[in-house]
A and B are shown apart, each in its own frame.
Chain A
Amino acid sequence: AQKITQTQPGMFVQEKEAVTLDCTYDTSDPSYGLFWYKQPSSGEMIFLIYQGSYDQQNATEGRYSLNFQKARKSANLVISASQLGDSAMYFCAMRPAYSGAGSYQLTFGKGTKLSVIP
């Protein structure tokens, strides 16, 4: 079984500042993928960034970077130069990297509500 823990129910950040959203995970799978999604009030889950468990480098996508520490089982999202439009719920998720029974579902955390202050 896989488990995602997001311990920050809500975060505030000043516009143009950087912010880190925490995510820890637990799994017995040897190979897995970690995802971050943004969910604005419209409800749609928007894919932000992906990290494979065997990737040597931390993933980056524009203003988003993933601070992956495998030994500590953490996959924190860093948003640089925050914008007002970044205000939303952010979810960390994972799934096994293999194909087959039990591998197709994404397991999500409870999310962090980010509020960007002008």
Chain B
Amino acid sequence: DAGVTQSPTHLIKTRGQQVTLRCSPKSGHDTVSWYQQALGQGPQFIFQYYEEEERQRGNFPDRFSGHQFPNYSSELNVNALLLGDSALYLCASSSITVKPNYGYTFGSGTRLTVV
């Protein structure tokens, strides 16, 4: 049973560019959340998608946007990259029908470096 798959694993971009990160949720999961983890910090919630709509958003600027597709996979887009956007981006999937205690499965993340 495949877990959460994220691509690419590593990425280097130049300041001002745009980037797209991708996530395939665990089989049976219908909800995808994105987190940003800066070096030495805990993950910070970016947003969550369910039924192809953004259901909740954390304290991130509009440069961060997302999308969920009918097959439940998701993309995270970041425009006008800043050096401070360098981080590990984690995707977590869950199911609306599963209790919160077992609901979150994380991927291994995409390491984004902005130069």
A: which residues have CB within 8 A of B? 4, 33, 35, 37, 42-47, 50, 52, 91, 93, 95, 97, 101-111
A110 and B40 within 8 A (CB): yes
Q: Which of A47, A101, A109, A111 contacts B105 (CB 8 A)?
A: A47
C-alpha gap A82/B102 in the complex (Å) = 24
B76 interface residue, CB < 8 Å from A? Answer: no
When A45-B92, A104-B56, A108-B42 are in contact, do A50 and B102 touch as well, CB less than 8 Å? yes
A50 and B101 within 8 A (CB): yes
A109 and B45 within 8 A (CB): no
C-alpha gap A101/B55 in the complex (Å) = 8
B33 interface residue, CB < 8 Å from A? Answer: yes
A45 and B33 within 8 A (CB): no
C-alpha gap A45/B34 in the complex (Å) = 13
A104 and B33 within 8 A (CB): yes
Q: How many A-B residue pairs have CB under 8 A?
A: 63
Residues of B within 8 A of A101 (CB): 56
User: B52 CB to closest chain A CB, in angstroms?
Assistant: 16
Residues of A within 8 A of B31 (CB): 104
B106 interface residue, CB < 8 Å from A? Answer: yes
A45 and B90 within 8 A (CB): yes
Residues of A within 8 A of B78 (CB): none
Residues of B within 8 A of A45 (CB): 43, 90, 92, 106
B48 and A104 within 8 A (CB): yes
C-alpha gap A52/B56 in the complex (Å) = 22
A44 and B42 within 8 A (CB): no
Seed contacts A45-B90, A91-B42, A104-B33; 12 additional CB < 8 Å A-B pairs: A50-B102, A91-B43, A93-B42, A97-B100, A101-B56, A103-B56, A104-B56, A105-B33, A105-B56, A107-B45, A108-B44, A110-B41
